[in-house]
Chain A
């Protein structure tokens, strides 16, 4: 059996293109030669702890007030300590859900008035699975 993990860390960088200013032999040397830098890699911005990060798909409308819509891509970091006000993934009785963590009131809040907040103490089996550090939305209409 073949194992072909597509881990976040080891993927070859997609956006990195080396700048070979010096390869231009004729003419004036590029004034940028002394300032060659690697281009920005979006993963550096989105992912701080690759081996503790997973992606998930949001489903539902309870978080629209915080800008998370149905179908959005969630980037979830399990290495972060959940803080008051974080968007978190919680497992409630074995079901994964995305809410705002309110540590002052010991609640999980929805971002939509149609959904009642959830008392942290009401559930014996409530675990915070990770912190949603980014959400990504595709903005073109056709897909």
Chain B
């Protein structure tokens, strides 16, 4: 049996942990640079505040209902997520961190009534971390996801739903649209309607081989999983990223070339750091810049650059990225965003060097390793390329950021005695 534990309105709930005064109030969390709504408390959802909506478009709603607004504070969310995971380790030795707010637990061998076990997880996480969660328990990961959906939407479940026999999940599947199933997006959902598959139950009772032929092996597995057969196991280590992107919006939309070059250098270094952490090399990069699509005179351009040899050398990648930005840049625009993607990456260990092209020099490996060591020991950003700029001149817009209650000594919650 698997359990899926999902933090309810994760970021909003994190903001409420050290603010008991906000626990029953409408609050929202904004994306980087206070762009879009990315989390809403239950009360904010009830007010009809839409998810993933540009903030400026619904400011009136927020004002009228006195909704508390927060800029995203990922240091806080990361720490709380870690606490949730550490707490769940007491419930199963085998856990998969599916995302910052979702964890799968392997419950095989747990010889206790599982519904009560789920309730206990929920109660302990509330008591010890002050994180409200929903728990779905079922024989496959896909069904556990479905059970989790039910636990959130059926009040009688009280946040925990156990699907332990076919009658239960069949009853549920007949009432759930197929697009709510894990791995079935709106695009596949649309194509499924052509096959007269509308509910989860329609999919579960379809022929898996037909699904494989018309769609993919993944959908075939989904059908099997919906019938209680375990096809997907827990993944201990998340697979290495096939592409690494690093991009950000500017707070004060610059129009000169210089800040764009600095920004791309910084993002290139961040992305390359991640590349080295998973011991990969990159041979092709993707660079893009654009202005705000919400304003007239929209300009957007991108370039794909092939590198002379597969590399993880920040200096090389920064140089190529800057070259690209120089080509993409047009004066007279206010740029909103720039970024870099390392799009063709391969394992460093299994990399085949080109016979005619010398590979990266050994000294580069040593230098990069030293750079990473310094930054690991003395904190990220202790040593960096001068091109990244000594002081970030494009500060993030974070007007409503909460303190880093658990990760910064200067931000501890104060308690009146």
Binding site for B on A (CB under 8 A): 1-7, 9-10, 49-52, 54-63, 68, 70, 73-74, 78-79, 89, 91, 93-99, 110-111, 127, 129
Contacts and interface: CB of A to CB of B under 8 A. Distances in A.
**Interface bracket on B:** 35 or more
Interface string B79-95: 10111101100000000
B83 A63 contact: no
Given A54-B406, A79-B128, A94-B22, A7 B79 contact: yes
B103 to A, nearest CB: 13
A6 B346 CA distance: 30
B386 interface: no
Contacts of A70: 417
Nearest to A81: B127
B127 A3 contact: no
A26 to B, nearest CB: 32
Interface in B382-416: 405-408, 412-416
A9 B90 CA distance: 14
Contacts of B415: 56-59, 74, 89, 96-98
B417 A59 contact: yes
| Ranked 8 nearest A-B pairs via Cβ | A94-B21, A3-B78, A52-B128, A91-B20, A51-B86, A5-B78, A5-B79, A60-B417
A7 B413 contact: no
A3 B74 contact: yes
A2 B82 CA distance: 14
A6 B380 CA distance: 12
Contacts of B77: 3
A2 B128 contact: no
Contact of B83 (A7, A89, A91, A94): A7
A3 B87 CA distance: 19
Given A2-B270, A9-B82, 9 more contacts: A4-B75, A5-B75, A6-B408, A7-B82, A9-B86, A62-B417, A78-B127, A96-B416, A98-B417
Contacts of B148: none
B32 interface: yes
A68 B84 CA distance: 30
Contacts of B414: 56-59, 96
Contacts of B78: 3-5
A127 B79 contact: no
Nearest to A66: B417
A74 B79 CA distance: 19
B41 interface: no
Nearest to B32: A1
- Which of A7, A50, A60 gathers the greatest number of chain B CB atoms within 10 Å? A7
A78 B20 CA distance: 14
A68 B86 contact: no
B376 to A, nearest CB: 10
B417 A56 contact: no
Contacts of B20: 91, 94-96, 127, 129
B412 A60 contact: no
Given A1-B74, A79-B128, A97 B417 contact: yes
Contacts of A97: 415-417
A78 B128 contact: yes
B206 to A, nearest CB: 40
A32 B336 CA distance: 64
Contacts of A58: 414-415, 417
B9 interface: no
Contact of A2 (B19, B74, B79): B74
A79 B78 CA distance: 20
- Which of B23, B81, B416 gathers the greatest number of chain A CB atoms within 10 Å? B416
Contacts of B72: 1
- Which of A6, A62, A68 gathers the greatest number of chain B CB atoms within 10 Å? A6
